[in-house]
């Protein structure tokens, strides 16, 4: 018939080219979705970490203020999560038993912990909204200077005994601290937040062998560790990416 235009069927090469183009577009789309998903997941984990660090800084500042109100001056380091108790406040030189002044200081520290920490743990003393960033552990760390010890104990043993004494007296002054857990009882990994360790002279904070430096290095640190982000990929983020 006149006026009828018949289209030439696509050649085999053109069909192959179109199929490859469609496949590349599909792969690119999948790549973009995966990239957006991992970026969102990374952002979420970063926020968890930075949020936990901000919460830890708030805890340390609140403890420092509470202790100042009670008449005890302490040093804090919000970057490393440490509340620092000078040795001369707690112990006589070369001794691991708390002095009278030290016992009074530890009583104040224990009271401040019970005031500030409940809503950062699973404690039933929490009377407000519980924080989404929880404390995983608080290590009572003993440190000494580098002077040699005489008798049956070295600096490592002394640091452990001092940490143990502080750890024990905190809980004797405030038995409620034993119930401050990092996770609800019965859950895997649930444990009291308080622990202890001794480092002897291995972690000085002041260089040199002057008496001023030695005095700085003899100390008890309370080191706060926050719960880290959960391992793996969050299910809610995965659903959003689908």
Q: What is the CATH number of the domain that holds 186?
A: 3.30.1330.60
Q: How many residues does the chain have?
A: 242
**pTM for this prediction:** 0.75
- Closest CA relative to residue 66, chosen from 101, 100, 117, 102: 117
Report which secondary-structure segment, H or E, holds 83.
strand 82-86
Whether 192 has a pLDDT exceeding 90, the answer reads yes
Structure tokens at 87: 């040795």
pLDDT band of residue 241 (cuts 50, 70, 90) is very low
Q: Does residue 147 lie in a domain region?
A: yes
Between 79 and 35, the higher pLDDT residue: 79
pLDDT band of residue 239 (cuts 50, 70, 90) is very low
The phi and psi torsions of 117 (rounded to 5 degrees) equal -85, -20
Rounded to whole angstroms, the Cα distance separating 145 from 201 reads 5
- pLDDT 10s digits, 114-130: 999 999 999 999 999 99
Q: Are 236 and 145 within 8 A, CB to CB?
A: no
Q: Does residue 236 lie in a domain region?
A: no
Rounded to whole angstroms, the Cα distance separating 32 from 94 reads 64
Q: What is the pLDDT of residue 17?
A: 55
Q: Does residue 101 lie in a domain region?
A: yes
Q: What is the pLDDT of residue 228?
A: 73
Tell me what the mean pLDDT of segment 67-94 comes to.
92
Tell me what the mean pLDDT of segment 69-96 comes to.
92
Q: What is the pLDDT of residue 233?
A: 37
**Cα–chain center distance at 163:** 20
Q: Does residue 233 lie in a domain region?
A: no
Q: Does residue 4 lie in a domain region?
A: no
Lowest mean pLDDT: which of 1-10, 76-85, 162-171, 198-207? 1-10
- pLDDT 10s digits, 32-73: 776 666 655 555 555 555 789 999 999 999 999 999 999 999
Task: Give me the number of domains the chain comprises.
Answer: 1
Q: What is the pLDDT of residue 86?
A: 79
Q: How high does pLDDT run on average in the chain?
A: 84
Q: What is the pLDDT of residue 39?
A: 56
Sorted by sequence, the CB contacts under 8 Å of residue 55 that are 6+ apart come out as: 120, 131, 133, 226
Q: Does residue 190 lie in a domain region?
A: yes
Q: What is the pLDDT of residue 62?
A: 98
Between 236 and 7, the higher pLDDT residue: 7
Whether 15 has a pLDDT exceeding 70, the answer reads no
Q: What is the pLDDT of residue 240?
A: 35
- pLDDT-above-70 percentage for the chain: 76
**Count of CB atoms situated within 10 Å of the CB of 104:** 15
Q: Does residue 43 lie in a domain region?
A: no
Q: Does residue 170 lie in a domain region?
A: yes
Domain that holds residue 159: 50-226
Q: Are 133 and 55 within 8 A, CB to CB?
A: yes
- pLDDT 10s digits, 121-174: 999 999 999 999 999 999 999 999 999 887 778 999 999 999 999 999 999 999
């Amino acid at each position: 018939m006149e006026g009828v235009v018949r289209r030439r069927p696509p050649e085999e090469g053109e069909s192959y080219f179109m199929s490859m183009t469609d496949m590349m577009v599909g792969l690119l789309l999948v790549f973009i979705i995966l990239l957006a998903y991992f970026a969102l997941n990374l952002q979420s984990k970063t926020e968890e970490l930075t949020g936990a660090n901000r919460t830890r800084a708030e805890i340390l500042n609140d403890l420092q203020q509470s202790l100042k109100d009670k008449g005890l001056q302490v040093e804090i380091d919000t970057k490393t999560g440490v509340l620092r108790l000078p040795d001369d406040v707690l112990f006589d030189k070369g001794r691991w038993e708390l002095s009278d002044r030290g016992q009074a200081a530890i009583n104040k520290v224990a009271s401040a912990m019970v005031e500030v920490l409940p809503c950062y743990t699973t404690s039933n003393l929490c009377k407000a909204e519980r924080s989404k960033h929880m404390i995983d552990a608080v290590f009572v760390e003993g440190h000494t200077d580098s002077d040699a010890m005489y008798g049956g104990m070295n600096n490592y043993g002394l640091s452990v005994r001092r940490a143990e004494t502080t750890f024990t007296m905190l809980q004797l002054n405030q038995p409620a601290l034993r119930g401050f857990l990092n996770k609800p009882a019965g859950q895997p990994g649930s444990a009291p937040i308080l622990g202890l360790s001794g480092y002897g002279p291995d972690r000085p904070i002041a260089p040199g062998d002057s008496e001023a430096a030695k005095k700085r290095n003899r100390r008890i640190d309370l080191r706060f560790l926050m719960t880290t982000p959960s391992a793996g990929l969050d299910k809610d983020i995965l659903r959003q990416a689908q």
